[in-house]
Copies of this chain bind each other. A is one copy, B any other.
Amino acid sequence: MSKPLRLGLAGLGTVGVGVIRIVQNHADLLAARAGRPVEIAAVSARSRSRDRGVDLSGYAWVDDPVVLATRDDIDVFVELMGGEDGPAKAATEAAIAAGKHVVTANKAMLAVYGQALAEAAEAANVALRFEAAVAGGIPVIKALTEGLAGNRIRRVMGVMNGTCNYILTRMENEHVAYDQVFADAQALGYLEADPNLDVGGIDAGHKLALLASIAFGTRVNFDGVQLEGIQRISITDIEQAADMGFRIKLLGVARLTGRGLEQRMQPCLVPADSPLGQLQAATNMVVIEGDSVGQVVLRGAGAGEGPTASAVMGDVMDIARGFRLSTFGQKAASLVDVQPAQAATPAAFYLRLTLKDAPGVLHKITGALADAGVSIDRMRQYSHRDTAAPVLMVTHKTSRAELDHAIEGIVATGVTLEHPVAIRIEEV
């Protein structure tokens, strides 16, 4: 059997411990599959004394991850510290410079510095892989970069923040308002220290930017992601959408169009009976559409010790088996710099209006819509006991600009009691 592949592991939080457990518990399995043993040589973390429930006695301890990353006795630097720059980036750069392969779960670092890091890795002839950075245990980077490498990708989309999906599905299933479910999620430790990373769509936006790059051969452009969080989703919208056969998801969608690279991470309505619509709780889902393969749907746990460690080990095993693939599926220098699309692909929209209950009101609204060139596919007015008349519409396909124009016109009529709510309906 060939010589062992030796890992240096920086970051001993949940995922790091998960990786150690796999390496310790499955030594025989990994060796049989890789054709060589996979071992941990050295580890690094902030606290040496903390009990993590795993035996670290066989591994060298290094306080400084940069020192760990360049040790002679490691072949692969496994970066599980997180943070878009700081020690994670410094250690990753040092590892590459020292000729070590790198496996990371760090979506923020790659979404911001991915291009430079990928170029450095290719120049040094080492692998830089990041399966664990996107959709946890789902092997989506591998599916997209390798399994579907014969396809021109038409669209990639997904629900990639489990916490947001947990909040939205609990709101729907239990008819509870956003604020209360948010508070529960925070109490349960489901939210990042800065909750805006989750509910503001930033974390999922990082993942989308990475997926878009490998799907379309474009340079990672996180700044080009149109971001909208779930904070303003009301229980009313969830219930009304459900009533019309839809569910609301924080959905990332990326597409390369004649107008540029479209990257949106925003609440969308999707059909309740579609795979995306049926996705409950913290589970993740990625949908890939290729010109030959059609639609492929991947579903699994998006976070947690086991799933994320599984993804890290997938990358480690590739390296152990001698696979060398460019970080984004093709040479970093060949990735194209595409401008963000100025306008998203037209879509139908859900529109919720709260109107004064008076003669002629609906006539004014429909006039404003007609003036903006937005036509109505479906409309419902609900019976009501107070003076505010709730009206729901689904438009025919329209551009967001036309829709915004229509909303301005609607507001200008003076018959609305609340600002209109508009949510895109994504065809899935």
Verify if A310 is at the interface (C-beta below 8 Å from B): yes
A317: chain B residues at CB < 8 Å are 146, 149-150
A293: chain B residues at CB < 8 Å are 137, 300-301, 306-307, 310-311
A269-291 CB contact bits vs B (8 Å, 1 = yes)? Answer: 00001010010000000000011
- Please name the residue on chain B nearest to A280 by beta carbon: B273
**CA–CA, A32 and B329, complex, Å:** 9
Do the beta carbons of B150 and A313 come within 8 Å of each other?
A: yes
Do the beta carbons of A292 and B137 come within 8 Å of each other?
A: yes
- Please name the residue on chain B nearest to A151 by beta carbon: B310
Do the beta carbons of A139 and B296 come within 8 Å of each other?
A: yes
Verify if A86 is at the interface (C-beta below 8 Å from B): no
Q: Which of A330-344 contact B (CB under 8 A)?
A: 330-331, 334
**CA–CA, A97 and B32, complex, Å:** 25
Most buried by B among A149, A217, A312, A330: A149
A294-312 CB contact bits vs B (8 Å, 1 = yes)? Answer: 1111111100101101111
Do the beta carbons of B314 and A35 come within 8 Å of each other?
A: no
Q: Which of A129-175 contact B (CB under 8 A)?
A: 131, 137-139, 142-143, 146-152
- Please name the residue on chain B nearest to A18 by beta carbon: B292
**CA–CA, A22 and B139, complex, Å:** 24
Verify if A29 is at the interface (C-beta below 8 Å from B): yes
A26-B150, A142-B142, A142-B146 known; A296 and B294 CB under 8 Å? no
A26: chain B residues at CB < 8 Å are 150, 152
Smallest beta-carbon distance A1→chain B, Å: 10
Smallest beta-carbon distance A156→chain B, Å: 14
Smallest beta-carbon distance A98→chain B, Å: 24
Verify if A382 is at the interface (C-beta below 8 Å from B): no
Smallest beta-carbon distance A146→chain B, Å: 6
- Please name the residue on chain B nearest to A26 by beta carbon: B152
- Please name the residue on chain B nearest to A30 by beta carbon: B150
Verify if A33 is at the interface (C-beta below 8 Å from B): yes
Do the beta carbons of A321 and B325 come within 8 Å of each other?
A: yes
Most buried by B among A151, A275, A323: A151
Verify if A223 is at the interface (C-beta below 8 Å from B): no
Verify if A356 is at the interface (C-beta below 8 Å from B): no
Do the beta carbons of B148 and A310 come within 8 Å of each other?
A: yes
Verify if A407 is at the interface (C-beta below 8 Å from B): no
Verify if A43 is at the interface (C-beta below 8 Å from B): no
A58: chain B residues at CB < 8 Å are none
A293-B306, A321-B325 known; A33 and B314 CB under 8 Å? no
Smallest beta-carbon distance A81→chain B, Å: 20
Verify if A316 is at the interface (C-beta below 8 Å from B): yes
A296-B298, A299-B297, A330-B33 known; A309 and B150 CB under 8 Å? yes
Do the beta carbons of B331 and A137 come within 8 Å of each other?
A: no
Smallest beta-carbon distance A288→chain B, Å: 9
Do the beta carbons of B297 and A35 come within 8 Å of each other?
A: no
A314: chain B residues at CB < 8 Å are 146-150
A53: chain B residues at CB < 8 Å are none
Do the beta carbons of B296 and A138 come within 8 Å of each other?
A: yes
A29: chain B residues at CB < 8 Å are 152, 217
A18-B292, A142-B143 known; A149 and B324 CB under 8 Å? no
Verify if A318 is at the interface (C-beta below 8 Å from B): yes
Do the beta carbons of A294 and B299 come within 8 Å of each other?
A: no
**CA–CA, A148 and B275, complex, Å:** 22
**CA–CA, A329 and B148, complex, Å:** 19
5 A-B residue pairs with Cβ-Cβ distance under 8 Å, sorted by A, are: A29-B217, A139-B143, A147-B311, A150-B309, A294-B301
